[in-house]
Amino acid sequence: MTKLVECVPNFSEGRNVKIIENIVDEVRKIEGVKLLDYSSDKDHNRSVVTFLGEPDKVESAAFNLIRKAAELIDMRKHKGAHPRMGATDVVPFIPIKDVSTEECVEISRKLGEKVGTELAIPVYLYEDAASCPERRNLADIRKGQYEGFFEKIKKPEWKPDFGPQKMNVKSGATVIGTRLPLVAYNVNLGTDDVGIANAIARKVRYIGGGLRYVKAVGVKVTERNIVQVSMNLVNYEKTPVYSAQEMVKMEAKRYGVPVIGSEVIGLVPMKALIDCAKYYLQIENFDMSQVLESRLYE
Amino acid sequence: MTKLVECVPNFSEGRNVKIIENIVDEVRKIEGVKLLDYSSDKDHNRSVVTFLGEPDKVESAAFNLIRKAAELIDMRKHKGAHPRMGATDVVPFIPIKDVSTEECVEISRKLGEKVGTELAIPVYLYEDAASCPERRNLADIRKGQYEGFFEKIKKPEWKPDFGPQKMNVKSGATVIGTRLPLVAYNVNLGTDDVGIANAIARKVRYIGGGLRYVKAVGVKVTERNIVQVSMNLVNYEKTPVYSAQEMVKMEAKRYGVPVIGSEVIGLVPMKALIDCAKYYLQIENFDMSQVLESRLYE
């Protein structure tokens, strides 16, 4: 059985193609690691890389990427619309196949220690790898950003998990951790009233009393003259796609508004969709190893 | 993009473990071919092997398996409950990923020619590879079995597609061809009346006026005191799993019988289940390359 971990580092360069390519090359160089995607945003001046592979190889690729970003990016000159605190800003590890969250936390810790020691970059662990509840949320850690961190890092409660308790002037600080794969899922409604989409989003999402692992907002889709409930499902094992779908349908009924379609944005783990097939078809005792393709990378 | 073909040869030995292992070893020996499963039936005196890989490698593995079966099996001594006409009885190729039916037909023809020429075994092409409508159906070709084929093969209409028009006394004749993956799918009903399961099966299956690519029978599940509609879905692209499911539900309603569950037997292509998730979730514009795992073997 091949263990598979996904890694989605965000680094603080979204404009200089040569620098971006040089950094992404660090992932391409590691055999057995598959570069799935990378994209840059000029306004944010930030890039996101997605790659997949066996745990130790993914960890190596992540370290090499962080080292290269520290070499080529100078945070003193960085400007961009997106909050950031380091040359490599955040590095989530995501368990994909035959890997537990605990193993990904272990990888996060090992990488964090190496980055702290060898590159002298302060490292904070977040989400499932967090060392205390106050550090679970990325936004809480990153508050103050690069510029504010020179002071923030001195506070005892913001002592880094690894590396010096002192900002790396050129590279800033880096957040590393573990989270589940996120499913970006939108449900289209047969109305142009964004108020209805928003009202449904408020009922479906966690903060409004809805499903534990759903974030949701109402959005206008102007080119189609409809609206949608745009969701992030942050734990599709515990809050499956079908329960989000059915809850949107249920709430839409009170407005007499039909669900006219849905969309999955970007990548989705096979199991997130197969769990839906299992639910609707009422399949008993199904094992993921019955999926023909799952045999290809055992 | 890696092309993937599945091959499921049936050979006429189900008792002698040493012979079975020697034959299956021919598949194990080919690098890049993945042995998914093999099983033997003593009463049938027959084994079924399932393997997967790139087209040319799968073709090589199939040829080597046929050659080894011709060496180790003597049809003059073969007895078993299952109809058969050759040492390697039937060899279906199944398109799995980025391969067309036409390409699998081409593989069937190439392999058939090689088996006919190099091993002097008469070869018949069947299903999508058939050279005429009368040879589509395996049962029609195989009628008369090994013993009857010494006469049958002399008839002009049963001239083999490849190889000599003369039985290979030791190895018999072999059927090679192309078909789609079969999904074995059973729907459980909340009753112990097998008459109801049979009545529903008759409405759902093709020969009863039902769905084009569904074969179905009613079956008793004694240990649970229920019945089920047991189906083979022979083309899940054209007759999807969800339509079989919904049609069983619809027919069950007239008896006031609930669908209490379902089961997938053995292997199932990922797309057969994801198509169901897409249907029930009403997903628009989904591309299979959005499935994370599909990126692993592009």
3 state DSSP class of A14 = coil
Q: Which two tokens stand for residue A77?
A: 């000159």
**What is the spatial distance between Cα B206 and Cα B113, in angstroms, rounded to a whole number?**
34
Please report, for residues A8, A9, A185, B16, the alpha-carbon distance to residue A182 in angstroms, rounded to integers and kept in the order given. 11, 14, 9, 51
| Sequence-distant contacts of A144-147: CB under 8 A, at least 24 apart | A144/A85, A145/A83, A145/A84, A145/A85, A146/A75, A146/A78, A146/A84, A146/A85, A146/A86, A146/A172, A146/A173
Q: What are the φ and ψ backbone dihedral angles of A273, each rounded to 5 degrees?
A: -85, -40
Residues of A in contact with B97 (CB under 8 A): 293
Active site residue A82: yes
Residues of A in contact with B269 (CB under 8 A): 291-293
**Domain A183-266 coded CATH 3.30.70.670:** yes
Please, what is the angle between helix B17-28 and helix B55-72, to 10°?
160
The per-residue pLDDT for A298 is 55
- Which pLDDT tens digit goes with each residue over B262-274? 999 888 999 999 9
Domain with CATH 3.30.990.10 in chain B: 4-178
Q: How far is B84 from chain A (nearest CA, A)?
A: 27
For the cut 80, the answer to whether the pLDDT of residue A90 exceeds it is yes
Residues 36-75 of A with CB under 8 A from B: 36, 52
Tell whether A188 is within 8 A of chain B (Cβ). Answer: yes
**What is the spatial distance between Cα A79 and Cα A81, in angstroms, rounded to a whole number?**
7
Tell whether B180 is within 8 A of chain A (Cβ). Answer: no
Residue of chain A minimizing CA distance to B50:
A292
Q: Determine, for residues A264 and B280 on separate chains, whether the beta-carbon distance falls below 8 Å.
A: no
- Which pLDDT tens digit goes with each residue over B20-69? 999 999 999 999 899 998 999 999 999 999 999 999 999 999 999 999 99
Tell whether B181 is within 8 A of chain A (Cβ). Answer: yes
Domain with CATH 3.30.70.670 in chain A: 183-266
Q: Determine, for residues B280 and A285 on separate chains, whether the beta-carbon distance falls below 8 Å.
A: no
Q: Which two tokens stand for residue B265?
A: 């037997």
Q: How far is A171 from chain B (nearest CA, A)?
A: 32
Q: Which two tokens stand for residue A272?
A: 């997130």
Q: Which two tokens stand for residue B47?
A: 């084994």
Cα B110–Cα B113–Cα B119 angle in degrees, nearest 5: 125
Kindly compute the dihedral angle of the four CA atoms of residues B46, B48, B49, B54, in this order, to the nearest 10 degrees. 130
Q: Which helix (H) or strand (E) holds B60?
A: helix B55-72
- Which pLDDT tens digit goes with each residue over B73-115? 999 999 998 899 999 999 999 998 889 999 999 999 999 999 9
Is this complex's ipTM strictly greater than 0.85?
no
For the cut 60, the answer to whether the pLDDT of residue B298 exceeds it is no
The per-residue pLDDT for A294 is 81
**Domain B183-297 coded CATH 3.30.70.3190:** no
**What is the spatial distance between Cα A41 and Cα B208, in angstroms, rounded to a whole number?**
58
Domain with CATH 3.30.70.670 in chain B: 183-297
**CATH class of this structure's domain B4-178:** alpha beta
With a CB cutoff of 8 Å and minimum separation 6, the contacts of A281 are B241, B242, B245, B262, B276
Q: Determine, for residues A97 and B269 on separate chains, whether the beta-carbon distance falls below 8 Å.
A: no
